[in-house]
C-alpha cells in the first residue's frame, strides 16, 4: 500500500512537472520572440538616433566656422566689394584643408545679399549668377538673416547645406556663406557604425533636369541616385511607407530601415537614406538559445522531480522555510546594493558610485567631458514653497537629465541641488553645445510645463590623459561657480565668455 501511495504522489508530481515544462517552453518561446523584436527595434532606434546626431554634429561644426569668418576683419571689404579673386586667395587654403579632413565636403559658397554668387570654391569659374529663383535656402537666409540648414538640390545634385548669414561685429549683413556636404557622408558613417547596405533616394520632382540627364530608376516617387549591390536586388521589394521591414534574400534575413529622412530647410522630406542590415545571425542565435534553454529546462525539471519527491517525503516543512529565508535574503541583498549606489530621493547614482565608475572608465583609457549643473536660486524656492516642493523640483530635474542624455552617460546627484554628468568619448566643444541645449531645454520645459519655474547654471571640463580626475572636478566646479557669479542660467566652458550682467544675489 505504501509503495502504491508513493508512486501515486510521484505520478502527480511528474504530471505537474510535465505541465511546467510545456508552460516554460511556451513562455521561453514568447520571451525569445520578444527579445528578437526588441533587438530589431533597438537597432532601428540606434540607427535613427545616430543619424540625427550626425546631422546635428555636422551643422554645429560648420555654423561655428561660418561665425568665425563673419567676425574676420578682412572678410568685410572682400564681401562688400564682391572681390572674387581676393576672396579666393583668402579662403582657398582653408577650403583645401577642410576638404582634406572631409572628402564629402563639396560646397563652400559665398553669396552676396542680393543672392548673386561671389565665389564657388568647387566651381571657381562660375560666379555672378542670380540664385534667387533656383536656391530657396539662400534666398530665405538672406531675407531672414538667420542660419538655416537642410538638403537641397543644386545644379550638380543634392547636398546637405549649412547656410549662414555673414554678419560682422558692426551688425552689417555681408551676405551668405554656405557649406554643402554630399549625402555619401551620412551613408559612409552609417556603414562604418552598423555595417549596413545602403541606398540614397531623392524626390524625383526636385531633381528637375538631373532626372532627365541621368535617367535614375524610380521608387515610390523617389529616384535612386546611389545603391549598393544588395539593393539592386531588393529595391523593388522596399516599401517606403513602412519605417522598417524584414526581407528575405538567398536564405538571409535583412532588416530594412526607411525612416532616415533628409528634410530641406523647411522640414520637407526631399531625400531618404535607406539601409539594410543582415539579422540572420541574430535570428539563428535566438533559435539556438531557445532550443538550448528548452532542453536545459527539461533536464533541470526532471532532476528537480526526483529531488523534490525525496525532500517532499522527508523535509517539506524545512524546505519551505529555507526557500522563504533565501528569497528574503536575496531581496534584502539587492535592496542594500541599490541603496548603496543610488540617491534615495531622485533614484540617480550617488557620488560614491559615480566616482568609482568614472575612475574605472579612466583606468581603461577612456576620455570624455564632465558637466556640473546647479539649480539656480534653489534656496529661495525652498524657503518660499517648502522642502517638499524643493524635493519635487529635484526629482523633476533628475527626470529631465535621464530623458535628455544618453543611456550610457553617467548621471549623478552630486549633492543638494548640484548634479553631474560624464559624457564618454565626447570632446569638450561638442559637450558644451549639448550642455547648452540642455540648459535651453530645462528653461523651456520649466516655463511651459512645470508649476515652479527654475533655470540652471553649468560648468564644463574635459577629462583626458593630461588632466587628473580631481583637477577636472575642481575645474568644472569653478566654471559652474563662474556661471552663477556672472548671471546664472548659462553654461561656462573653456572658450566662452559670459556677457550677461551679474546677478546681484549669489
Domain parsing of the chain, residue ranges:
2-38+305-338, 71-182, 185-278, 351-492
Lowest mean pLDDT among 35-49, 93-107, 159-173, 305-319: 305-319
The grid coordinates listed for 176 are: 551668405
pLDDT at 502 over 80: no
Q: Do 286 and 35 touch, CB atoms closer than 8 A? A: yes
CA dihedral 149, 152, 156, 159 (to 10 degrees): 50
Q: Which residue has the higher pLDDT, 400 or 210?
A: 400
pLDDT score recorded for residue 100: 94
pLDDT at 200 over 70: yes
The grid coordinates listed for 329 are: 535574503
Strands (E), 190-286: 197-203, 217-219, 222-227, 244-249, 252-263, 269-278
pLDDT at 498 over 50: no
Portion of the chain with pLDDT greater than 90, in percent: 40
Give the pLDDT band of residue 373 (cuts 50, 70, 90). Answer: very high
CATH topology of domain 71-182: Beta-Lactamase (3.30.450)
What is the residue-averaged pLDDT of the chain? 84
Judge whether 71-182 and 185-278 match in fold: yes
> Could you tell me where the DSSP H helices lie in 102-183?
136-144
What does the chain come to in residues?
506
Give the pLDDT mean for 10-34.
Answer: 74
pLDDT score recorded for residue 332: 62
Cα separations (Å) of 115 from 31, 37, 177, 263, 366? 60, 50, 11, 22, 47
Lowest mean pLDDT among 13-27, 123-137, 239-253, 457-471: 13-27
CATH topology of domain 185-278: Beta-Lactamase (3.30.450)
Rounded to whole angstroms, the Cα distance separating 18 from 14 reads 6
Give the DSSP H/E element, type plus range, for residue 491: strand 491-492
pLDDT score recorded for residue 62: 92
Give the pLDDT mean for 69-89.
Answer: 94
pLDDT at 39 over 80: no
pLDDT at 469 over 90: no
pLDDT at 308 over 70: no
Q: Are strands 173-181 and 105-111 parallel, antiparallel or unpaired?
A: antiparallel
pLDDT score recorded for residue 318: 47
SS (H, E, C) 265-282: CCCCEEEEEEEEEECHHH
pLDDT score recorded for residue 325: 61
Give the pLDDT mean for 442-465.
Answer: 84
Strands (E), 77-172: 105-111, 117-120, 148-154, 157-167
Give the pLDDT mean for 254-275.
Answer: 86
pLDDT score recorded for residue 333: 58
Q: Which residue has the higher pLDDT, 298 or 503?
A: 298
Give the pLDDT mean for 304-317.
Answer: 62
300-306, Cβ contacts within 8 angstroms, sequence gap of 24 or more: 301/17, 301/20, 301/21, 301/24, 302/17, 304/17, 305/13, 305/14, 305/17
Pick from 379, 377, 374: nearest CA to 481 = 374
pLDDT score recorded for residue 319: 42
The grid coordinates listed for 220 are: 515610390
Q: Do 29 and 290 touch, CB atoms closer than 8 A? A: yes
Q: Which residue has the higher pLDDT, 55 or 506?
A: 55
Distance of alpha carbon 51 from its chain centroid, rounded? Answer: 8
Count of CB atoms situated within 10 Å of the CB of 446: 20
Give the pLDDT mean for 102-117.
Answer: 95
Lowest mean pLDDT among 102-111, 379-388, 459-468: 459-468
417-430 pLDDT, tens per residue?
999 999 998 999 99
Count of CB atoms situated within 10 Å of the CB of 174: 22
Q: Which residue has the higher pLDDT, 169 or 14?
A: 169
pLDDT at 164 over 80: yes
Q: Do 484 and 377 touch, CB atoms closer than 8 A? A: no
pLDDT at 390 over 70: yes
pLDDT score recorded for residue 10: 65
Give the pLDDT mean for 307-314.
Answer: 64
pLDDT score recorded for residue 506: 29
Q: Which residue has the higher pLDDT, 2 or 121?
A: 121
Give the pLDDT band of residue 300 (cuts 50, 70, 90). Answer: confident
Give the pLDDT mean for 451-467.
Answer: 86
Q: Which residue has the higher pLDDT, 214 or 178?
A: 178
pLDDT score recorded for residue 245: 86
CATH topology of domain 351-492: Alpha-Beta Plaits (3.30.70)
Give the pLDDT band of residue 504 (cuts 50, 70, 90). Answer: very low
pLDDT score recorded for residue 338: 61
Give the predicted TM-score (pTM) of the model: 0.50
Amino acid at each position: 500500500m505504501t509503495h502504491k501511495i508513493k508512486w501515486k504522489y510521484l505520478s502527480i508530481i511528474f504530471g505537474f512537472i510535465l505541465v511546467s515544462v510545456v508552460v516554460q517552453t511556451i513562455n521561453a518561446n514568447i520571451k525569445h520572440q520578444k527579445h528578437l523584436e526588441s533587438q530589431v527595434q533597438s537597432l532601428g532606434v540606434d540607427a535613427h538616433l545616430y543619424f540625427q546626431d550626425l546631422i546635428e554634429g555636422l551643422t554645429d561644426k560648420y555654423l561655428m566656422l561660418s561665425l568665425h569668418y563673419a567676425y574676420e576683419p578682412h572678410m568685410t571689404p572682400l564681401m562688400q566689394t564682391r572681390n572674387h579673386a581676393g576672396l579666393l586667395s583668402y579662403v582657398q587654403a582653408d577650403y583645401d584643408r577642410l576638404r582634406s579632413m572631409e572628402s564629402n565636403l563639396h560646397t563652400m559658397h559665398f553669396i552676396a545679399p542680393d543672392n548673386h554668387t561671389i565665389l564657388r570654391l568647387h566651381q571657381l569659374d562660375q560666379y555672378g549668377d542670380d540664385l534667387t529663383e533656383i536656391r530657396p535656402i539662400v534666398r530665405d537666409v538672406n531675407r531672414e538673416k538667420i542660419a538655416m540648414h537642410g538638403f537641397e538640390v543644386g545644379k550638380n545634385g543634392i547636398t546637405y547645406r549649412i547656410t549662414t548669414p555673414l554678419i560682422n561685429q558692426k551688425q552689417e549683413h555681408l551676405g551668405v556663406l554656405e557649406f554643402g556636404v554630399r549625402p555619401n557622408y551620412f551613408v559612409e558613417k552609417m556603414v562604418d557604425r552598423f555595417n549596413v547596405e545602403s541606398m540614397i533616394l531623392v524626390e524625383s520632382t526636385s531633381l528637375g533636369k538631373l532626372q532627365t540627364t541621368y535617367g535614375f530608376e524610380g521608387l515610390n516617387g523617389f529616384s535612386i541616385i546611389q545603391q549598393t549591390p544588395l539593393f539592386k536586388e531588393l529595391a523593388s521589394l522596399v516599401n517606403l511607407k513602412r519605417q522598417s521591414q524584414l526581407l528575405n534574400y538567398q536564405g538571409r534575413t535583412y532588416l530594412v530601415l526607411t525612416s532616415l529622412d533628409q528634410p530641406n530647410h523647411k522640414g520637407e522630406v526631399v531625400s531618404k537614406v535607406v539601409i539594410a542590415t543582415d539579422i540572420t545571425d541574430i535570428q539563428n542565435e535566438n533559435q539556438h538559445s531557445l532550443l538550448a534553454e528548452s532542453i536545459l529546462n527539461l533536464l533541470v525539471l526532471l532532476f528537480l522531480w526526483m529531488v523534490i519527491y525525496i525532500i517532499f517525503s522527508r523535509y517539506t516543512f524545512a524546505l519551505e522555510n529555507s526557500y522563504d529565508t533565501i528569497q528574503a535574503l536575496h531581496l534584502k541583498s539587492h535592496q542594500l546594493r541599490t541603496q548603496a549606489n543610488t540617491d534615495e530621493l531622485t533614484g540617480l547614482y550617488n557620488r560614491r558610485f559615480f566616482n568609482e565608475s568614472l575612475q574605472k572608465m579612466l583606468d581603461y583609457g577612456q576620455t570624455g567631458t564632465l558637466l556640473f549643473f546647479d539649480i539656480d536660486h534653489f534656496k529661495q524656492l525652498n524657503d518660499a514653497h517648502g522642502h517638499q516642493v524643493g524635493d519635487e523640483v529635484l526629482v523633476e530635474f533628475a527626470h529631465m537629465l535621464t530623458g535628455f542624455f544618453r543611456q550610457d552617460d553617467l548621471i549623478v546627484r552630486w549633492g543638494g541641488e548640484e548634479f553631474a554628468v560624464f559624457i564618454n568619448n565626447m570632446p569638450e566643444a561638442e559637450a558644451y553645445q549639448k550642455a547648452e541645449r540642455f540648459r535651453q531645454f530645462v528653461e523651456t520645459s520649466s516655463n511651459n510645463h512645470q508649476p515652479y519655474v527654475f533655470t540652471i547654471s553649468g560648468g564644463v571640463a574635459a577629462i583626458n590623459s593630461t588632466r587628473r580626475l580631481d583637477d577636472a572636478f575642481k575645474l568644472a566646479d569653478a566654471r559652474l561657480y563662474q556661471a552663477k557669479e556672472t548671471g546664472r542660467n548659462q553654461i561656462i566652458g573653456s572658450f566662452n565668455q559670459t556677457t550677461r550682467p551679474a546677478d546681484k544675489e549669489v
